[in-house]
Chain A
Amino acid sequence: MSYRVPIGPYHPALEEPYKLDLVCEGETVRDAELHIGFNFRGIEYLAERRNYAQVIALMERVCGICSNVHTLSICQAIERLAGITPPERALYIRVIMAELERLHSHILWAGIAGKVMGFKTMFMASFELRESIMDALEAISGNRVNYAMNRVGGVNRDIEDPGLLLGMLDGIEKALHRSIIPIFTKNHTALTRCVGVGVLSNERAKSLGVVGPTARASGLTQDIRRAAPYAVYERMCFEVPVETGGDVRARLVVRALEILESCKILRHALTTMPGGDWWGSKKKPKVPAGTAISRIEGPRGEVLYSVTADGVSDMPTRIRVRTPTYANMPAIRVMLRGAHLADAPLIQASIDPCYSCTDR
């Protein structure tokens, strides 16, 4: 006999509002229904009523964790439409901000995953370390959440002392090697809780079109930084970690290894960043009629912005935002089938979901 277990939309096992209806037989989940929309703000509608400067601030509010990804994506799309190339230093600053954001997002996720597993030490260690990255972001931008760093044609603030950040990076890397990485990759408690749990096969990952660490943990190699490089990623030396297990452990390991790769990129960018202009043109951009698409590898995977202009108005005709959780979330249903009911919170957390992004 089957029975239904409703979880959410507001529930201690979920970090944000959404609803899971689990169909169970005994302790085994047979199927799951997902319901989203509890954070729906109609941002794509609002974007058609903002000019090209205002819309950047609006898009920064799509997400509270990866806000920089959204401003970078929309600025890149507008720059492509208007034929604007930002100065070299600005492109390096964009890479540095994107990787700092990936670091704090992955470490935040490690903490949340630790909490869901009941491994509170991992939660405390992660959140302590994340603070130093938030301090770095605040030192650069003056803000801890919405950094307001990107503008069409450049960035709003310089990184005046890369040496200071390199010192901070040394400390972060030491702490990573001391606590977070061993917990992620070797700790018996963490790994046994995750092995064989919430499996997404390579075939289903392809067919569902999942992106980011969720895809790379199922053996797909896609990473927009490598496949379709933007800013100055083609000059950065880094590996794209891929695991083939498709389970929660594989997603844990991929993110752990990505943390180390982000440190590598940060060190490279900070030591090779050229001097010169970072602001770009002071003129208001003229955006001709047409459509341009920008894709960024955010912490959770590929973000796509499609911007369409009519060439007359100073407001976009249409902005489409496809966020990574939107692509990854339908896979939760597949991961949950056959799982233990007690693993459901961990499985849904393993894609590092962001419902603010998904609902927009």
Chain B
Amino acid sequence: MNDLHQISSVLGLSETWEEKNGSWWIAPAALDIRLMAAVMRSHEARFVTLTAMQLAQDAPIRLDYHWDINGQLLTFTTYAQGNQVPSIVDLCEAADWVERETHENFSIDFTGHDYEPLLLRAGDASGLQLRKEAP
């Protein structure tokens, strides 16, 4: 719990952590994603993965960043503004593949991360597989 308070305080978040279904969640109105990655790194948190989702057609893309601190799972929920999100790869190399996969599935550009295909093969259309407007 001390870690959670410290993390929120360094990130300047007014929202509080909520325990839901066995893990801790926070959904800040404004989240500096790169600062989050830097703070989690300073707490020796392990980056687990990123879950992207679009809950309805035309809804913004929701991004859940999952981190582990000593077995405790912490999730930051934020929304992509337009189709661009700052990359955290330079701060957290474990995010490389998942940012590339999210780019392929949701057509989100992680700025500062050179895009290389991951799951798609040459000639495949990139970007819209998991968007709700996908056929």
Contacts and interface: CB of A to CB of B under 8 A. Distances in A.
A295 B74 CA distance: 13
Interface string A218-240: 00001010111000000000000
Interface string A268-311: 00000000000000000000001111010000001010101010
B117 interface: yes
Interface in A314-360: 317-318, 320, 322, 326-327, 329-330, 359
A308 B55 contact: yes
B117 A293 contact: no
Interface in A175-214: 206-209
13 contacts: A37-B118, A40-B119, A40-B120, A40-B121, A44-B130, A45-B129, A291-B21, A293-B23, A317-B55, A326-B97, A327-B94, A330-B94, A330-B97
A173 B89 CA distance: 45
A311 B42 CA distance: 38
A253 to B, nearest CB: 23
Nearest to B94: A209
B93 interface: yes
B70 interface: yes
Contacts of B121: 37-38, 40
A45 B130 contact: yes
A267 interface: no
A42 interface: yes
A208 B41 CA distance: 12
Interface residues of B, number: 36
Given A207-B94, A209-B94, A227 B55 contact: no
B70 A293 contact: no
B73 A36 contact: no
B87 interface: no
A290 B70 contact: no
A222 B97 contact: no
A80 interface: yes
Contacts of A206: 44, 46
A322 B49 contact: yes
A167 B119 CA distance: 45
Interface string B1-30: 000000000000000000011110000000
Interface residues of A, number: 38
Contacts of B93: 207-208, 330
Interface of A: 36-38, 40, 42, 44-45, 48, 80-81, 206-209, 222, 224, 226-228, 290-293, 295, 302, 304, 306, 308, 310, 317-318, 320, 322, 326-327, 329-330, 359
A36 B101 CA distance: 11
Given A37-B119, A45-B130, A308-B55, 19 more contacts: A37-B117, A38-B121, A44-B130, A48-B130, A206-B44, A206-B46, A209-B46, A227-B68, A291-B20, A293-B66, A293-B75, A304-B49, A304-B66, A318-B55, A322-B98, A327-B49, A330-B93, A330-B96, A330-B97
A36 B49 CA distance: 18
B119 A318 contact: no
Contact of A306 (B47, B51, B98): B51
B72 interface: yes
Ordered nearest first, which 4 A-B pairs have the shortest CB separation?
A: A227-B71, A209-B94, A292-B21, A318-B53
Nearest to A215: B46
B38 interface: no
Given A208-B93, A317-B53, A293 B71 contact: no
A222 B73 CA distance: 13
Nearest to A294: B22
